[in-house]
Structure 1
């Protein structure tokens, strides 16, 4: 198709993912400097489980020696400097989701999230005060609350090549207008496919958000919503309406430290509105300074919104049947297969 896509070589070796995100999450290293932890059990907890690896304090690159469903009975808390790398297997998380609380440098790659239940249950919840996060090539659907929830001062985050489906409140950035500390938040969402989800692609309060090369179709209420002080830069995305024709929505709310209510701002550059879609843009208010992504990062790969891009996003987002690359990192010898990977630290023999 001739598309020039971002981070095309990250599957050449296991840890090539580190620092290859585009946008605000570009510095996320995950467990780059840690040993391998191999998930050998689909149990909710215990030695060899995903939860057991995620709670360890040291950096770890977490891989899987099994495929299947992990039924989470409670939120799975992810500690700092972790890569949860689902390449080479097919892992589905259900029941509850991942919680990234006061952590940094986390990479989540090639997982499925489906069927989360319970009050305030999100597939991936990022709050409070987490930073340098990259969520890549995940499939997310059918959770009780949101699919991705970013709030309470969490920032420097990228979401890329994810597939969102069968859901209502998709991505929330900024929980409510009382959290004025969310003015620091910065999020990039690119090359994602929002496939018939109803709203919040995303909904934003306070944050600076860069959307590029996403495909959003058949929403039920709106595509993107800007509220209190948010600045959304929408670049070369494809918006394809069904019954609801307006893509952009604005909601007026009052920040806790302000006397007057306001909405947010959306700037559209090179976006494609098809099937009768109306942008719904409002004029920029005089005196308002809208940020540009180039103020924060120097380069990113953006394609014109075309049929070729739409085809790619329909078929190459979400979980992928990708081989687990070899690990050339000096901490762990390269092995020919997952079953023969040598762990220098035998984590599953540590006491709880």
Structure 2
């Protein structure tokens, strides 16, 4: 079976609109000019922050490699592609914020060592949509690695490597935010490498998980809370000391009288080293959304030892060349 996105590195802007799953319509800066990051400064002319704050669509590429130390969260505006192919860019200190934006693609970056209260590697809230996070390495932040909350939806996370962390990925932050019923997220071909919990934890949202490898979690692998719907297909769950894969937490939605948990359906998942699926018998996935009702196809293969090896090697930042530029130009203005 072909790997997902086999053709997206053939030319620079082939990424646009190529995500699988709920984030498949993310166009990023497809229709904008090229913006070249020419230095590793936190701000100023030629910096990443300067490109991200501009209002017009931009395809952002890097002419340097190295570490950008962020003194404050880096806000990404709508219609931006942050394309790290061809260089090795590490963001540290703080993370990225996607707030009330749409059509953002973030590809091939390292986000490491974020410090401070409520500092996430990538924070998606509120009301952001059409987002694709691909081939990023995320580890060691003081709060979460990726947070998706407050009506942010139509998001795909693919081929990312999560490690050295407690709370990896949360979707829906509170039982009081009933408007999060609109959230839809696809997570596939990711490697959750010894992170303790939240792979992901979900409230209200519809979440499709496929061909991910989660190993050696500290509390649980996947958690379904209030009204969430989680479809887990052909994933690999390899236990360490903790064996229980799926966890259910009951909470009361702000507009309901009774507490509920979510539902999980597991289809053709592979459970290794004594991992226990621990599905609720009375949940069973009845009434769960069907992925094909939302998108026609996705690239999925059986969970296997071969897939396990591939996901350890081919997730996170990759030493790949930047595809040829479609237009040679100076920074868009």
Quickly name the TM-score band, shorter chain normalised. Answer: over 0.9
Give runs of ≥4 in structure 1 deviating > 6 Å.
Answer: none
Q: Which runs of 5+ in 1 are unaligned?
A: 334-340, 348-352
Q: How many residues align?
A: 333
Mapped contact 2:16–2:28 kept (Cα < 8 A): yes
In the alignment, what sits opposite 1:11? Answer: 9
User: Which structure has the greater CA radius of gyration?
Assistant: 1
Match of 1:131 among 129, 132, 136: 129
Cα 1:52–1:269, aligned 2, differ >3 Å: closer, same or farther? same
Structure 1 partner of 2:27: 29
Write the deviation string for residues 307-336 of structure 1: whole angstroms up to 9, x where unpaired. Answer: 1100100001000001010133xxxx2xxx
The answer as to 2:53 corresponding to 1:67 is no
Structure 2 residue aligned with 1:147, among 120, 145, 148? 145
> How has the CA–CA distance of structure 1 residues 259 and 287 changed in structure 2, closer, same or farther, with 3 Å as cutoff?
farther
What is the alpha-carbon root mean square deviation over aligned residues? 1.1
Tell whether the 8 Å contact from 1:102 to 1:129 is kept in structure 2 after alignment.
yes
Once the two structures are overlaid, the 10-residue window that deviates more, 281-290 or 70-79, is 281-290
- How far apart are residue 283 of structure 1 and its match? 2.1
Partner of 1:103: 101
CA–CA distance in structure 2, aligned partners of residues 261 and 95 of structure 1 = 39
- Counterpart CA distance in 2 for 1:78 and 1:123 is 13
Match of 2:243 in 1: 245
**2:330 corresponds to:** 343
Aligned residue for 1:183, secondary structure, equals helix
SS in 1 for 2:9: coil
CA displacement, residues 276-313 of structure 1 (integer Å, 9 cap, x when unaligned): 11001012449951111111001001000011100100
Unaligned runs of 5+ in 2: none
CA distance in 1, matches of 2:284, 2:192: 33
CA contact (8 A) 1:265 1:284 kept: no
Q: Which residue of 2 aligns with 1:173?
A: 171
TM-score normalised by the chain length of structure 2: 0.98
Equivalence for 1:192: 190
C-alpha deviation, 1:4, in angstroms: 2.0
Task: Decide whether aligned partners of structure 1 residues 41 and 236 sit closer, same or farther in structure 2, where only a CA change above 3 A counts.
Answer: same
Task: Please show how residues 188-227 of structure 1 align to structure 2 within 5 Å.
Answer: 188-227=186-225
* SS of 1:313 mapped into structure 2: helix
Judging changes above 3 Å, is the alpha-carbon distance between structure 1 residues 274 and 37 closer, same or farther for their aligned structure 2 residues?
A: same
Q: Does 1:266 align with 2:264?
A: yes
SS at structure 1 position matched to 2:59: strand
The one of 47, 51, 54 equivalent to 1:53 is 51
In the aligned structure 2, how far is the partner of 1:31 from the partner of 1:344? 14
What residue in structure 1 maps to residue 87 of structure 2?
89
TM-score by length of 1: 0.93
